[in-house]
C-alpha cells in the first residue's frame, strides 16, 4: 500500500513514472542539443536585427499609444497616470475628478465649445504641466468626465509634436525618462502593457519557463499550465487588482466545495457550478469598481475555467494532505504566476515579442523540446534526499 501511495503521489506531482519509462529510450546526444539551441538563438537574433520596428530601443522619438505621464496642477500637486496618445484628436482632455484633485478651480476656468460623437458641449479648459518620455510641456486640457474610459488623460497631436507614436504599443517609456519601465513597475501600474499579437508570441516562452521549473527544478503547482494563464491576467490587470481578485475567486470556490460534495455531483457538474460562482464573483467585482467611480475597462481577463479547476485541486489537496500542503500549493501557483508575469513584462523580452513574434514562438518550441529531454535529478529531489545521502556517507 505504501508503494502504491508513493506511485500515485509521484504521478500527481509531475508524471514522474512516465519520465522514468521514457528515460530508457535512446537519448539525444548533448552536442545535438547544444547545436540546436545555438542555431535557434542565431535564428532569433537574425530576425531581431532584421526587424525594422524596435520601439523599446530607447529612442527619444518613439512613444506608445498608451503611456504613463506625470501631470501637475497649480498647487504643485502631481499624479502619475495612464494617458492615451491620440494623433487623430486635435485637442487634449483630462478627467474631471483628476482635475479637481490637482487643485484646478473649474468654476473660474475659461470654457470652450468642443464637438464630439455625443454632440457639442461647453467644457472648462485648464493649463497643466505634463511630463512625457523625459519631455516637459504645458498642455491645454479640456475637462470632461472620463471615468468610463481606460485612461483619465488624452493627449492630442498638438501636445505630441515631434514624437513618433508606435501603433498598438504600450508603456514604452517612463514620464521622466525615455527608458522602458521595469517589469515590476508595470505590474503595479494597473495598466495593460502587451498587445494581443505579442501576448500570443509570449505564451510559448511562458510555457518554456513552466517546463524548466517542473522538469529541472521540480516545482509542483495546482495545475500544470495554470500559472501561465494567471500570469497573463496579472500582466494585463496589474498585481494590485489581479492578486486580490484571484484570492477572492479561490475563497468563493473553496467555500462552495463542501456544499457541492454533499450534493454528490459528478466532477463535470461541480466544475460547471464553480465556473458560474467564479464568473459571478468577477461580475460583482466589475460592478463594484464602477460604483466606486473606477474605470471598468481594466482589462482583467482572469481565466475562469482554470481558476475553477485550480480551486477544486486546492480543495483536494486540503482534503488529502492537509492545510499546509494546500496552502503551499496555492502559494507556489500564485508565486509562479507572478514570476512568469515579470518575465513577460521585461522590456527586452517585450521588444523581442513585438519585433519577431513568429521567430520567438518557433525558437521556444525547440528549446522546450530540449528542456524536456532532461533526465537527471530535480533540484527539489536533491534537497529532499540530501539528509539521507549524508546519513549514508556517515555510515560508510
Q: Using the predicted structure, report yes or no on whether residue 26 has a pLDDT greater than 80.
A: no
pLDDT band at 288 (very low <50, low <70, confident <90, very high): low
Question: Residue 94, SS3?
Answer: strand
* Lowest-confidence segment of 126-135, 228-237, 262-271, 280-289 by average pLDDT: 280-289
pLDDT of residue 218: 82
CA distance 201 to 51: 15
Grid coordinates representing 251?
475563497
CA distance 394 to 375: 28
pLDDT of residue 96: 87
Evaluate whether 212 touches 371 at the Cβ level (below 8 Å): yes
Q: What is the mean pLDDT of residues 387-391?
A: 73
Q: Nearest CA to 84 among 102, 72, 69, 96?
A: 69
Q: What is the mean pLDDT of residues 59-73?
A: 81
What angle (nearest 5°) sits at the alpha carbon of residue 286, between those of residues 284 and 296? Answer: 165
What angle (nearest 5°) sits at the alpha carbon of residue 319, between those of residues 313 and 320? Answer: 90
Q: Using the predicted structure, report yes or no on whether residue 7 has a pLDDT greater than 50.
A: no
**Over the chain, what is the mean pLDDT?**
76
Question: Residue 294, SS3?
Answer: coil
* Lowest-confidence segment of 1-15, 70-84, 194-208, 251-265 by average pLDDT: 1-15
Evaluate whether 253 touches 274 at the Cβ level (below 8 Å): yes
pLDDT band at 302 (very low <50, low <70, confident <90, very high): low
Q: Using the predicted structure, report yes or no on whether residue 171 has a pLDDT greater than 70.
A: yes
Q: From residue 289, give the alpha-carbon distance in Å to each of 248, 293, 295.
A: 15, 7, 7
Grid coordinates representing 5?
501511495
pLDDT band at 37 (very low <50, low <70, confident <90, very high): low
pLDDT of residue 17: 46
Q: From residue 376, give the alpha-carbon distance in Å to each of 20, 150, 309, 380.
A: 10, 49, 30, 12
pLDDT band at 292 (very low <50, low <70, confident <90, very high): very low
Evaluate whether 206 touches 344 at the Cβ level (below 8 Å): yes
| Beta bridge mates, 95 | 144
CA distance 372 to 356: 24
Residue-wise pLDDT for 365-379, tens only, equals 888 888 888 887 777
Q: From residue 149, give the alpha-carbon distance in Å to each of 170, 291, 303, 321.
A: 16, 14, 23, 46
pLDDT of residue 136: 87
CA distance 353 to 48: 9
CA distance 128 to 167: 26
Say what the pTM is: 0.70
pLDDT of residue 50: 58
Q: Using the predicted structure, report yes or no on whether residue 101 has a pLDDT greater than 50.
A: yes
Q: From start to end of the chain, where are the E strands? A: 62-72, 78-85, 92-95, 111-116, 119-132, 135-144, 153-155, 164-170
Q: Using the predicted structure, report yes or no on whether residue 6 has a pLDDT greater than 50.
A: no
Evaluate whether 325 touches 222 at the Cβ level (below 8 Å): no
pLDDT band at 352 (very low <50, low <70, confident <90, very high): confident
Q: From residue 346, give the alpha-carbon distance in Å to each of 140, 186, 190, 262.
A: 34, 9, 16, 46
Q: What are the structural domains of the chain? A: 2-48+193-385 (no CATH), 62-179 (2.40.70.10)
Residue-wise pLDDT for 115-170, tens only, equals 666 667 788 888 888 898 888 888 888 888 887 787 889 988 888 887 888 777 78
Amino acid at each position: 500500500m505504501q508503494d502504491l501511495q508513493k506511485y500515485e503521489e509521484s504521478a500527481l506531482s509531475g508524471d514522474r513514472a512516465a519520465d522514468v519509462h521514457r528515460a530508457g529510450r535512446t537519448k539525444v546526444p548533448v552536442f545535438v542539443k547544444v547545436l540546436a539551441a545555438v542555431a535557434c538563438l542565431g535564428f532569433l537574433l537574425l530576425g531581431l536585427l532584421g526587424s525594422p520596428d524596435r520601439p523599446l530601443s530607447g529612442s527619444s522619438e518613439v512613444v506608445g499609444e498608451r503611456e504613463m505621464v506625470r501631470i501637475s496642477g497649480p498647487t504643485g500637486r502631481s499624479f502619475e497616470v495612464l494617458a492615451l496618445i491620440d494623433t487623430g484628436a486635435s485637442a487634449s482632455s483630462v478627467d474631471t475628478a483628476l482635475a479637481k484633485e490637482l487643485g484646478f478651480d473649474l468654476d473660474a476656468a475659461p470654457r470652450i465649445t468642443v464637438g464630439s460623437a455625443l454632440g457639442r458641449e461647453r467644457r472648462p479648459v485648464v493649463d497643466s504641466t505634463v511630463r512625457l518620455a523625459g519631455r516637459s510641456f504645458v498642455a491645454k486640457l479640456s475637462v470632461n468626465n472620463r471615468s468610463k474610459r481606460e485612461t483619465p488623460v488624452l493627449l492630442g497631436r498638438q501636445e505630441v509634436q515631434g514624437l513618433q507614436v508606435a501603433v498598438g504599443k504600450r508603456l514604452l517609456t517612463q514620464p521622466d525618462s525615455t527608458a522602458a519601465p521595469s517589469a515590476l513597475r508595470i505590474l503595479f501600474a494597473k495598466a495593460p502593457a502587451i498587445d494581443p499579437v505579442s501576448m500570443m508570441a509570449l505564451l510559448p516562452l511562458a510555457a518554456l519557463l513552466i517546463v524548466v521549473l517542473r522538469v529541472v527544478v521540480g516545482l509542483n503547482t495546482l495545475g500544470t499550465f495554470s500559472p501561465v494563464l494567471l500570469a497573463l491576467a496579472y500582466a494585463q490587470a496589474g498585481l494590485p487588482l489581479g492578486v486580490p481578485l484571484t484570492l477572492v475567486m479561490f475563497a468563493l470556490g473553496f467555500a462552495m466545495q463542501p456544499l457541492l460534495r454533499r450534493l454528490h455531483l459528478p466532477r463535470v457538474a461541480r466544475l460547471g457550478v464553480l465556473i458560474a460562482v467564479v464568473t459571478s464573483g468577477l461580475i460583482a467585482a466589475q460592478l463594484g469598481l464602477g460604483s466606486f467611480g473606477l474605470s471598468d475597462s481594466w482589462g482583467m481577463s482572469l481565466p475562469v475555467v482554470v481558476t475553477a479547476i485550480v480551486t477544486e485541486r486546492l480543495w483536494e489537496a486540503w482534503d488529502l494532505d492537509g492545510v499546509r500542503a494546500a496552502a503551499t500549493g496555492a502559494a507556489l501557483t500564485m508565486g509562479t504566476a507572478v514570476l512568469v508575469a515579470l518575465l513577460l513584462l521585461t522590456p527586452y523580452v517585450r521588444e523581442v515579442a513585438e519585433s519577431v513574434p513568429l521567430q520567438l514562438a518557433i525558437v521556444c518550441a525547440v528549446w522546450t523540446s530540449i528542456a524536456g529531454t532532461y533526465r537527471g535529478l530535480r533540484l527539489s529531489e536533491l534537497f529532499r534526499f540530501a539528509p539521507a545521502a549524508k546519513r549514508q556517507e556517515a555510515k560508510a
